[in-house]
Structure formats: C-alpha cells, structure tokens
Structure 1
C-alpha cells in the first residue's frame, strides 16, 4: 500500500468515524469549543502521512488536545502549518509552502503555559518544481488582449503586482506611437490599460504601487522619440489606471528604477544620466518634487533596478550595465541613504559564476525582488536565467540554462529563457517572469 493510498484510506476512515457518530456524544463534542483539560496530560502520539508537498493534509494523533484551536499550534520544520480542524485526539493541519524536510512540532497551551511536543521522525517534504508559460505566444511580438493563451506581448520587460496578486506588465517601447504599454493580467485575461501617447506616458521602464495600492508610480526613460520629460508619473486606481499625471520632470530624465519603502512608503527612483538616486517629495512644486540622495559607487551612467528589503532598512540596486548588485542602508527616520557597498557580482565584469557575494558573476542583472524569507531573486538577462541570492550573499541558479537562450517549459534545470528581464513574486511565492525576447510571461515554481 503506497503512501498516498494509505493517507487517502486513513483520511476517509477518520471521516467515516465522524459521520457514523453524528447522532451521539462525539458529534456534539465536535461542535463544542473547549480547551485541553488542565487536569490531564496532553500527548503527541504520531502524524501521517510521513511525506508530501505544499497543501498536504496532516493528521496528528494525540491525547487531550481539546477543540479550541487558539490553544494549539503546529509547525513543520519550524514553519507554521494552518490548523483546519481539531477533535480532542486529532488535529488536521495543512503543510505550508517550502517547509522543507524537518520535524513536526505541536504546541499546546497559551501564554507562559505552553508545552512543546516534537515528533520522533521527520516529515519528508516533496518540492514542486516547474517552469510554465502562463500568457503570450512564443515568438509572436505583438499586442493582442484576451485570454492568456491567445494574448500576445511586445517585448515584456517589467512586472509588478498588488496584494490580490493582480499582475501588471510593461511592454517596452519609446515615443508616441503606442509601441509601449501598461497591461493587466487577471483571472485569465490580458487587458491593455495605457499605451504610449503624446502625453506623459511615452517610455515606461519600471513601476511600483504605493502602500495603499491606489497609485502606481512609474518611471520613464527619455529618448529622441519622446517629447515629454516627465521621468516619474502617477497613475491612479480611481481612474482604472488610465489617468497618467506627471510628478517629476528633469532636463534629461533617464529613469530606470523605482521602489517604494514597505515601512514608510517613501518613493525612491534613479536617473541614469547623472547616476543619482532621488526621493520623491509629494505635493511639492512639480519641477522640484524630489530630493537628491547619493550615487551608486559614485558613478554616472548607471542603469538601475531597485528593491527594498522586507524591513525597509536596505535599498538594493541591480546595476544592469555594470553587471553587479549594490546595497545601501536606508534610515527610515531621516529618509536618507548610507554609503553604497558592492554586495554581489563584480563591477564592469560580466559572466556566469555562482558563489558568495563578489565571487559570483552576472550578465546584465535586471529586475530584483525579495521573497518572504529574505532571498533576493534576479532576472539575469543575458545569462538567460533566474538567480537566487540568499541573505548571506550566496548566489545560486534558480531556473534556466546559464548562457543558453531558448524557449522550453518543464523542470527548472532544463527550462529555457530568452533574455528574462522582469520578475515579480506572488503571495504563494511563485515567480512570474517577463521573458522579453520570447514575448511571453512565464511562471516559476521551485519550492
């Protein structure tokens, strides 16, 4: 009898017992909420199944557990497992995403009176690993709205999302001839919201939501084809994300990155022309609605993609055209940046190499974003892969075949990308990738 069958059988068996007892005292017990009996000893006897992936339903057998879930907590490898049911001697919990293999722990009690129970054996976590195409048609560079499998994209190169996991995508383009666009992916449909025009929306490069998610802050790259010098614009949710208002103007605004501090809501952007990072100052005169901060590595001509750490205390900058990643401390009180330090990769040295910090090599690292555990993910454009940087600075391959462009779904170590440039991480920690030269949107799941 294999593990899955045994689990299904046991779950069905327990459910059958519950149903069979519908008219007796046990059935009433299920509907009465009560804590463990303080005069009796609680016990953790066993758990099943012994292996599985995210969403696996664990059955924990014990004694004197009560029915009040506020007195109970379950973890798998120290990651919290949601409790979906309890009946004195049984707890039903769901294995969390990316729990990894580890011991199952049960905590019974409240406040200072909590007792910890630890399993004798480990739960063996089975990872899901897959790269798939969620929208677009490989090799078809055009702009058609509609269902995911019929929609098309034109050089997708930036992604971001809101707290409801609605995905927003930017098609690269310059000027006023509608060859760039802000688009929305939600519930199986792709919708174009704004296309390049003679107004302030002419050359979108990156975007981020404010903390309230009622405004998109978007940066633009001024070029010969453009007439507007609005480097930073605001797009309101109230308008359906179609009303674009200029917020910051400069003579030569080559803005390439923008990030919103997750604690303070401060908006930070850069200008490639002078190499400086700036903080947007709302409600100021439109021509001076910013404060100049620092240059990354004291250099000009730095094409940046930006991301704040989850606690808002550090700003990270992928320097695309210099092939490395810097970080800077951010003082949330004074709203200032400290000195930039090289964190991963090497200045002006491209290539592919894994390793710790500056021993690693990138080739045009583009969009960067943190997951809930503090790992930083990088769209490594001309290495044609997605890289992962752990909090200690260790750089590893996450998906794709390094230095090999192409198009292929499947397991992450055999999947192929062609110049992945944008990425964003959804609430389930899956990574959505703007696969620029394949003109599609991909999804990477590596638990």
Structure 2
C-alpha cells in the first residue's frame, strides 16, 4: 500500500489519495457474500418454468440452497442430464436436453457425503421439434451443379436418387445415370465410388445383405440379355462391381435383412423373382396384374414383410415373407389408388400418391415414403393410414424449416438413422442431400 501511495502522490492530490486509500481499506474488510451451498440446510425445489419445451429451451428452476458453483450442481429431466448454465442460490438455469421425454426434474447439489438431491412433484413435458435441414449440395447462381467430391461443405450432386446405410452408418448414394457416391459416417466427406458405363448404365436400387459384405445394385435396361443386377464387396471398397444376374428387365430389388434372400423384379412382364444363391439362378415366384410397371421392393427390418412400391402407377402393395418356403407371398393392395396420381391423405386405397419411390422404416414399422411428384415425404402406418410427414404437397421448391413449411423438389430417396433420429433425403432436383431431424 505504501508503494501505491508514493506513486499516487506523483500524479494526484493528497486528499484524493487519502480517499482512495480509505476506499481500498473499506473494500478489503467487506465479508464475502457469495451464496454457498450449505449441506446442513435443506435443499428445496419449489417450481420450474417452463413446464414444456423442445431441445435447447432454457429452464429456470426455483428453490433454496443451490449455492453458486455450477460444478457441484447436476440437473436431470426425466433422468436425462441437462446442461447447467448458471446458478444463483435460489435459481438454476439449464438447457433442455434432446429426447428428454416426460418426467420429473431432479436437482443434485454437493459432492460425496455432502450431496443432497430433491425431485419435483410435477413433470416436465418434452416437445419434439422436427425440422428439415440441408446436409450437403448446392447450386450456383444459375442453378447449375456438378459431381464434386471432397469436403462435404464443397461437395455437389447432380441427380441424387437412392440411399442406404452400411453397418457403420456410412451413406451410399446412387446418382441416377451417373454412378455411386459415398458420404462418411462423420458427415464430413463425399467421394465417388464408381461411374456408370460398361453395361451398368442406369443403377436404380441399392441393398446390403445382413452381413454387409455384399451390396446389390439393380440395373434398369431394356435388353433382356443385359445386366440386371451387379454386386460390390468391401474388398474393393465398393468401387468395382461384378455381374450377378442377366436376362431380366429389372428396376427394383432388395435383400431380406434377416435371411439374406435377394428378390428382384422384371417390370416388362410384371414378374417377381428370387435369386438362388446355391444354384446361382433366378426363380420365378409369380406374375402380377400389371405389365411394364416400374416398382421396387423394400423389406421391413424384421424381414417378415415387404412393401412393393409401384412408381408409375402410384400405389403400394404388401407382401409377406414365408419363412417355410423362403418365398414372398402374392402381394395385396395396401395403399394408394392404382393409376390415380394425386395427393390425398387417408386410409388404404383412399389415399393418393404421385409417383412414390424409395421408403424407409422406423422402429414401429411406420414407412416413410418419398412421394416424388407431390414433392413431399409421406408416412404410412402398419394399419395403412397415410399422412403427409414433411414438405408442401404439390408445391416444389427449396426451403429448410419446420416439417410442413419446408420444401422439396422431386425427392427420390430416403433413409433413416434411428440412433441419430435423423432421416436423409435425396432431393433430386434441388441437387442436395436433405435431413429431417426428429430427435
């Protein structure tokens, strides 16, 4: 303090120096009033606000004896840890965590033997806030794009079409007429695995077998002597394909996720086939009423049934997998009006689609379907109830945001990552990979 006074005397009057010294001394004598947690006193939780909200919502918890050290305060919403952003003795500020659900608010303060906890008598109600975003892809000011690999922020797409995951959640993407692209599980990088040509000119669908060591690629061509299905394997990094099936006009196929049996179509005659892995030959199962119909086959995760999505006739069939015979039963009409292209939510045949394409399942066997010319994503329950999940029906465009305010332009492909609660959409004419986050 003496050194400070000597310095002050050189620049300010003595009276001012004395006042500063008095102020400094008085400040040093004031007690520390910072509220501290007292383990000898009760911990109380009186109320919290708001009582509902989505991820990232700020909650204020009111009570007593919280202290002021966030390091010793833990908060749980329905037993899900919530980030603590501030504490002021009688208030705690937290952010609502993802997928908190409905349940009480629990506060823990202190450490080891000094820790106390208290739980609210009322429940917080978590509100899901699904939103459509963009993962990758863009167009220039003239609406042009190209096939560009590399950093996902700089990558571009031309005709994104069909999507599948491998066991590591890497994403494999067909570009219609162009080839196979790859997006890593960290969603940081895009690369091209192969380009079309040499007989594989219009790849239409992708399907992994249950062990992920075979990737089936169906090939749409009119030559019955041409290649209808190729396979790729991890040995080449899925970059080199080998011919598997010839002699059918194929535009759809899928592998049963439990048994590995591969089924595919011949659209010229409306035929359904099973590939016999032992004899390496195709086995005709049955013919359907339509000919020259474009359709694909998509199995439920259980492998117990599959949907046959009839693209150019805008309806959906359902077929059961017969475990005794290893075949697919004759399909039955499930949803949509045959040959009636429109948009209408409803039940079964009363609903309307307009050129539906790829679909994907959630854990409850709800089927989410890219409804191409309706520019939206539809949802079909196991009971056949059809609703609009995302997008503006009959209004194409590009807009991120809440589900029913977002816009797509002829979405073709869709895949669902249950662990991340995120859908990925091949938004073809927007030249982008879109996301639908449903937590």
CA contact (8 A) 1:306 1:368 kept: no
For residue 389 of structure 2, what is the aligned residue in structure 1? 398
For residue 201 of structure 1, what is the aligned residue in structure 2? 200
Matched, 1:136 2:137: yes
Q: How does 1:29-428 map to 2 (within 5 A)?
A: 51=52, 53=54, 97=99, 102=102, 121-138=122-139, 139-173=143-177, 180-186=178-184, 187=186, 188-198=188-198, 200-223=199-222, 229-250=226-247, 253-285=248-280, 289-296=281-288, 298-427=289-418, 428=420
Helix, strand or coil for the counterpart of 2:349?
Answer: helix
CA contact (8 A) 1:51 1:124 kept: yes
CA–CA distance in 2 between the matches of 1:181 and 1:354? 34
Q: 1:401 to 1:130 in 2, by over 3 A?
A: same
Helix, strand or coil for the counterpart of 1:443?
Answer: strand
Q: 1:140 to 1:190 in 2, by over 3 A?
A: farther
Matched, 1:446 2:438: yes
Runs of 5+ consecutive residues of structure 1 not aligned to the other structure: 1-15, 22-44, 60-73, 85-93, 106-118, 174-179
CA–CA distance in 1 between the matches of 2:174 and 2:235? 20
Q: 1:308 to 1:52 in 2, by over 3 A?
A: same
CA–CA distance in 2 between the matches of 1:381 and 1:131? 17
Displacement of 1:46 in angstroms is 11
Displacement of 1:412 in angstroms is 1.5
1:363-383: CA deviation from partner (whole Å, max 9, x where unpaired) = 001001111121100000000
Helix, strand or coil for the counterpart of 2:373?
Answer: helix
Displacement of 1:446 in angstroms is 3.2
Aligned alpha-carbon RMSD (Å): 3.4
Q: How does 1:13-24 map to 2 (within 5 A)?
A: none
CA contact (8 A) 1:312 1:332 kept: no
- Which portions of structure 1, spanning 4 or more consecutive aligned residues, are displaced by more than 6 angstroms? 45-49, 81-84
CA–CA distance in 1 between the matches of 2:379 and 2:229? 29
CA–CA distance in 1 between the matches of 2:278 and 2:47? 58
CA–CA distance in 2 between the matches of 1:311 and 1:412? 28
CA–CA distance in 1 between the matches of 2:97 and 2:264? 39
Equivalenced residue count is 356
CA–CA distance in 2 between the matches of 1:336 and 1:327? 14
CA–CA distance in 2 between the matches of 1:275 and 1:351? 23
Displacement of 1:404 in angstroms is 0.6
CA contact (8 A) 1:372 1:429 kept: no
- What is the TM-score when the length of structure 1 is the normalising length? 0.71
Q: 1:359 to 1:202 in 2, by over 3 A?
A: same
Helix, strand or coil for the counterpart of 2:212?
Answer: coil
Displacement of 1:317 in angstroms is 0.9
Displacement of 1:228 in angstroms is 7.5
Helix, strand or coil for the counterpart of 1:382?
Answer: helix
Displacement of 1:322 in angstroms is 0.6
For residue 30 of structure 1, what is the aligned residue in structure 2? none
- What is the TM-score when the length of structure 2 is the normalising length? 0.73
Helix, strand or coil for the counterpart of 1:137?
Answer: coil
CA contact (8 A) 1:140 1:439 kept: no
CA–CA distance in 1 between the matches of 2:429 and 2:56? 35
CA–CA distance in 2 between the matches of 1:327 and 1:435? 26
CA–CA distance in 2 between the matches of 1:234 and 1:75? 48
